[in-house]
Amino acid sequence: MTLTLDHITKTFGDTTAVRDLSLEIPEGEIFGMLGANGAGKTTTFRMIIGLLEATEGEVYWNGGRMTYAGSGMIGYLPEERGLYPKLTVRDQLIYLGRLRGMKKADIVKELEGWLERFQVPDYIDQKVEELSKGNQQKIQFISAVIHQPKLLILDEPFSGLDPVNVELLKQAVLDVKKMGTSIVFSSHRMEHVEELCEHVCILQHGQPIVHGSLKEIKRSYGRKNLRIHADFDLGYLKEVEGVVTFADVPDGCVLQIDREETAEHIFQKLQGRGFVRRFELEEPSLNDIFIEKAGTSYE
Amino acid sequence: MNKFGIILSHTYLSRVKAKSFLITTIITVLFIFLAGNMPSILSSFGGSGGEDAGQRVAVLDETGEVFPDLRNNVQNTGGNVTLQRYEGSEAEAKEEVRDGTFDGFLNITMPSGEPQAAYFSMQGNPSALSQSLQQALQPVKVNMAAADAGVDPAVVEQLTSPVVFETSALEQDQGAQSAEEQNSARGIVYVMLFLLYLSVIMYGNMIAMDVANEKSSRVMEILVSSVSPVTQMFAKIAGIALLGLTQFGIILAAGYVMLQTNQNQLTGGVFQYFGLQHAEAGTFIYAIIFFLLGYLLYATLSATIGSLVSRTEEVNQLMAPLIYLIMIAFFIAIFGLNSPDNMLVTVTSFIPFFTPMIMFLRVTMLEVPIWETALSFGLLIGTIILLAMAGARVYKGGVLLYGKSNSLKDVKKALQLSKKE
């Protein structure tokens, strides 16, 4: 089951929210959608689930168009909490689950399992408005996955959670993926995306500026980071050929170099000057790539 | 169960189980019982203060000619009033009224051969008692004056008996109905007007609030992703309609029980008053159809309005124009009750927002050509379909619309959001 976005564009009056976006999201993978606020992530998600209609282009799910008949295959976690504040967790999920085509008994069984897993089994008969924001987010997550969707869309799932809960939810996302669900996921936090996603797309002003598998992107980016910690002054390395940027850090420096051979070259240059405690060639971070491509810092 | 059913039952059950529903229904039922038992409640509070509850009036009649006839007349009216011939002075009688021995004191004098009366009681303004005394005294005076003039009492009776006056229509197809039929029709129209008016205001508001609630809690985004907005909107409208039927059902049942347990002159009186006994089956069918269509029209509008606001506080503000519409319809209909063939009534009966009330009034009170009824039905149903289509689109777009609402601009924005560009 693959999700295909075929040259989609969405305009609101004079503004273009998404421009000519083509994506292929393979089955059973986690696809990361990155971009600053207003880059068009949420608009893209809304077009995928049919909340908005694309001005141009089509969204295909397994080769066909999405309809409400197939809504049981989709799970959606919106950016903002979308729950009935006055309903209890149980009633809430029974209602939302049934609308996704589940039976009541199955919903209760699944719900109890999920609450157990998130270590909040007592919340089942509490009203949602009585829960903390983080716990509401857990309920929201359960409502998105309880019907075991084939396609799960998570819009900023980790915002407002403490590190322990982020870990809990991250693990849950990975488990959902193991069941064969395709997941599209957006986040502000580059490290979450790097950790979870095989494929990413970076949107800027509604246009994809980087798109592909994470490994591929990093390899084709070419540049790597070189971290050196040494007892002597490293300032002279700025002048070495192939060094793109140079940044002082405590105990040493971080260099961005154009390719791996440059690292070998620098390694030789360090010989005989003193003790080198650390010499490490790092993969470029998504953040580096984003800064390079978008010309601005991400956060 | 399909999604329509799930939303319908959720809307219905969550409302029925709510405390507010229980409380308003109980209050209404209590009110009905209170209103139904008003006569007995009033009589248990009112009265003379004496245990016998009868009212005693002292009569000072200087000639003694008036008292016997007056007492007969009072007794014939069947009231619980006792007249007592008073032998003391005027001042003494007034004193006894102050003491509470008597409820009133009637001083009858004959200044020029005709009786004149002065009534004294603790209340200065005319009461039911003083009026019935006056009515009882009037024929006495007429008889005495007639006797003075030498007129035969039989002639007097002829003179005073009311004229026989009947109104009836000559030809039914002239658009007129008999007075009795019109009276009965008027009763049904009254009932229908009030029910529709109340339903639109109560349940229309409920629908708008429900939608606005879902929107402000952003649950709507999830709902719209799993169920089409059209299904959602109509399931909600049907759910609230069911709720309304439940509430009306309970209230009607309470009213029926009250009438049954309260076996006095009231039983049947209510039905008689509203003329429901004489109503034809056709009228009821018209009433049901017009009611349902009217509800559907206003409910669709309400749902659309609910989808436009981002906070529930703004609902009332946007509902105001809709309430004005139903109020205008209501007032034209009330006016039309007395002149159903007025031009204004005829014209407004074709305006879809007014049709459910005003066309119903015309159909019930006049003989309306079939094409006119059909035309108004067509216009009404067409408008409902149009509004439902527009409503569904505004609904879909409005769901994603947040910020301060500015009704008309929002409709435009919502429509833009819901379509391709």
Check CB contact under 8 Å for B420 and A68: no
Same domain, B342 and B211: yes
Beta-carbon separation of B222 and A143 below 8 A: yes
Tell if the pTM clears 0.80, that is, is over it: no
Q: What share of chain A is helix, strand, coil (3-state, %, to 5)?
A: 40, 30, 30
Does residue B357 sit in the same domain as residue B222? Answer: yes
Average pLDDT value for residue range A78-88: 87
Among the listed residues B124, B116, B121, the one whose alpha carbon sits nearest the alpha carbon of residue B58: B121
Which of B91, B123, B158 lies at the terminal end of a domain, its last residue?
B158
Same domain for B69 and B133, yes or no, is yes
**Residue A244 backbone phi and psi in degrees, to 5:** -90, -50
**Nearest-by-CA chain A residue for B217:** A82
- Say if residue B304 is in the same domain as residue B385: yes
Q: For residue B76, give the CATH number of its domain.
A: 3.40.190.10
Q: Looking at the domain assignment, is residue B115 inside a domain?
A: yes
Residues B302 and B233 in one domain: yes
Which residues on B lie below 8 Å from A73 (Cβ)?
Answer: none
Report the residue from A68, A85, A95 with minimal CB separation from B217. Answer: A85
Q: Which domain-ending residue is among B158, B189, B204?
A: B158
Q: Give the N- to C-terminal CA distance of chain B in Å, as an integer.
A: 36
Backbone torsion region of residue A180, taken as left when φ is above 0, otherwise alpha when ψ lies between -120 and 50, otherwise beta: left
In the DSSP assignment, the letter for residue A127 is B
B97 and B227, same domain (yes or no):
no
Interface A–B counts its CB contacts (< 8 A) at: 72
Q: What percent of chain A has pLDDT over 70?
A: 98
Would you call B218 and A76 a contact, using CB atoms and an 8 Å cutoff? no
**B131 lies in which domain range?**
54-158
CA dist., res. A27 & res. A51, Å (int): 22
**Chain A residues with CB-CB distance to B228 below 8 A:** 68
3-class state of residue B226 by DSSP:
helix
Q: Considering the domain boundaries, does residue B168 fall inside one?
A: no
Same domain, B219 and B323: yes
Q: Report how many domains make up chain B.
A: 2
ipTM: 0.77
Q: Quick check: is B204 in a domain?
A: yes
Alpha helices of A179-213 — where are they, by DSSP H?
Answer: 190-196
- pLDDT of residue A129 exceeding 80: yes
**Total Cβ atoms within 10 A of residue B214:** 22
Q: Please give the pLDDT value at position B378.
A: 93
Report yes or no: A254 at the B interface, CB cutoff 8 Å. no
Which pair of structure tokens corresponds to residue B119? 């009534």
| CB-based contact, A182 to chain B, within 8 Å | no
Per cent of chain A over pLDDT 90 is 14
Pairwise CA distance, residues B112 & B110, whole Å: 6
Residues B277 and B315 both lie in one domain = yes
Contact yes or no for A32/A200 (Cβ under 8 A): yes
Confidence (pLDDT) at B402? 60
Where along chain A do its domains lie?
Answer: 3-215, 223-283
Residue partners of B223: CB distance under 8 A and separation at least 6: A99, B214, B232
The CATH number of the structural domain formed by A3-215 is 3.40.50.300
Predicted confidence at residue B285, as pLDDT, reads: 85
Kindly state whether residues B210 and B142 are assigned to the same domain.
no
Q: B158, B193, B226 — which closes off a domain?
A: B158
Fold of A223-283: Alpha-Beta Plaits (3.30.70)
| Residue B256 located in a structural domain | yes
The pLDDT tens digits of the residues spanning A225-282 come to 888 888 888 888 888 888 888 888 888 888 888 888 888 888 888 888 888 888 888 8
End-to-end CA distance of chain A: 34
